Structure formats: structure tokens, C-alpha cells
Structure 1
């Protein structure tokens, strides 16, 4: 299936059913790994909100949720400059923190977030990302522990991911078609 958003064409990459199955598996692992803890799920807005909502429904352990909003994208490219729009709303001191990302691309935004979280002196920090572009990483990030799907260096939209603010509401994930 192909779709068009603004001036870009996209084709199906992952169907919603595939995404849901992968999220269930991630949640099982998180439930096991944090069985005797009360982690804080730190959602990175705007992209992670759908992923985090579906993930948290599969989490059986006690946990808390909070959000931050940072941005570096302009259109379909990262600007390289990170802007903090909503900062941390709670103390993470001595807490087990799971940063929930929609996608890790260059890793620069995540690196910024990790430094922000580390200043709070948490007990532990792990990253759970729905998508990871390993060939695009510009920094080494050992905290990326839970990954839904590894994808090539392609622009994607849907399931919370957007293009110029559009497409977040799509149930499936689509990749841009090279023109």
C-alpha cells in the first residue's frame, strides 16, 4: 500500500499487527527485567506517545509515566540543534528510568536526553525505542537496551512518527519512496 503526505510518497514498512506483536515482546522483557522495581517510563514527545500508550498497556509491574519534549527535526532532516520544549516534571533521583523513544536516528537527541537524566542521579537508565537506525548512529549509546525494529537509513512516518506534523495518526509505519 502506498500513501502520499504533502510532497512525499511512502510505502508500507510495518503493519500495525507486526508492531503490536513486537511491543508485547518488549513488554514481557521489561516486566521480567524490572519485576521487583517501580520504573519511571519517560516518554519523549511527540513521537513516542502512541508507542508508549500501547507499551504501557502491556506492562504488568508497578510503574510511573512522565514526559519530556525535545526536538531537532525540521521537515525530514535533523537540524542538529536540540531544543527543549518541555523539561522533566519529576525527580528521577534513585529511580530506574526507561526512556521511551519512537526512533533513534543519529542518537544526538538521545545523547542530550541521557545527559539530562543522568544529572538527576537515577539508579539506572535504559532506552526502549520502537525503531533504531544502527547505520545512522553518530554516537555510541550503550543504554539502548530494548529495540522494536532495526531499520535502514530511511525516512519513516506513521504510528506517532510524522512528516511536517502529518501522518502521526496512521496505524502502520511507512517508509519514504525514493523519487
Structure 2
């Protein structure tokens, strides 16, 4: 499909699943190298990261633990800047290597909030892996953002775990909103 409609918005094809899979494979290879002989806790940020994280985990061959945190700051297509934590971090992060997996980093406010919570437990290291990054929307640098699938323009995207009002997460490709 080259375009989709979700509720009142039209979207056109932006990133095909094949491109996403190739980039995910490369990130997985890099994580295998960077965390060789270590056992990181890989924490997915729900709901958006679940598709990317599932595919990423298929590429990771090192020992690792899996956990999830659920936070939200979106209403319609805009970040509200107000973080609502639905369920939180595991409490065993002390002296562990942590990899946070995000679907998208735009303003970075949600990520800043999560990183502050993670640091309270004094982990050995913290890195962030995000499928998408909107550099033009970023309000402050995120030094922990080590693994990036794609840098994209500041446009609203849907599919491959990303949603519009809860819809569209199941699309295998990523689509960009048409104004």
C-alpha cells in the first residue's frame, strides 16, 4: 500500500518494512558486539516499541533480560509534555547494563523522564536504542541515544508500532501524514 487513511488523516508510504528489517539487523549486530560477555536488561517503552523490539530481539544473540515500561505523553499527533506513567521500571537495575528501546524520539521529554527514573537505581550503564529520531523536534541532546534506526523529518508517522489515536500500530510499513 502506498497510502492509508486512519480516522480523519491520510498517510503515505515513508519507510518500507524491508528497509526497517535491514536497519534492525544492523543494530542487532552492533548490540551483539557492544554487549559481548555482558547480560543487559533490554527495556521496551510501550506501547510503540513492541514491534521494533520484537524484531530487534530476534537479531540479538547475547544473553539478555527483557522488561517493559509504559509511559505516555501524546494526545492526537502532539506531545503534551506531561508524562503519564502507566506502569514502571523493574527494581533490579542497580549495577546492570540497561538498553532502553524506543519506537521514536521526538521532543525527548519522555525519554528524559525515563532516564531520570533509571538513574535513580544506579545502573552500570544506560544506552538508548530508537527506531526513529526527529532531530528537528529534539528539545535537548540525549547523550545516551547510541543506536538510531533512521533520522526523519519532524512529521507525524504511523505504522510498525506507531499509532494515531491507538490505530495503525499493526501496519508493517511506516507512513507519514499528508497535510
1:42-53 pair list within 5 angstroms: 42-53=43-54
Partner of 2:56: 55
* Residues 1:67 and 2:68 are matched in the alignment: yes
Structure 2 runs not aligned, ≥5 long: none
CA distance in 2, matches of 1:166, 1:177: 16
Instruction: Report the TM-score, using the length of structure 1 for normalisation.
Output: 0.98
| Number of aligned residues | 178
Q: Deviations over 1:63-96 (max 9, x none)?
A: 0000000000001101110010011134100000
Partner of 1:169: 170
Structure 1 runs not aligned, ≥5 long: none
Partner of 2:150: 149
Partner of 1:110: 111
Alignment RMSD, CA only?
A: 0.5
CA distance in 1, matches of 2:44, 2:99: 8
* Residues 1:137 and 2:131 are matched in the alignment: no
- The Cα shift of 1:113 comes to 0.4
Q: Deviations over 1:116-146 (max 9, x none)?
A: 0000100000000000001110011100000
CA distance in 2, matches of 1:22, 1:138: 25
Find the residue that maps to 2:61 and give its secondary structure. coil
Instruction: Report the TM-score, using the length of structure 2 for normalisation.
Output: 0.98
Structure 1 runs (4+) greater than 2 angstroms displaced: none
**Which sits farther off after the overlay, 53-62 or 88-97?**
88-97
Partner of 2:125: 124
CA distance in 1, matches of 2:54, 2:78: 26
CA distance in 2, matches of 1:9, 1:36: 46
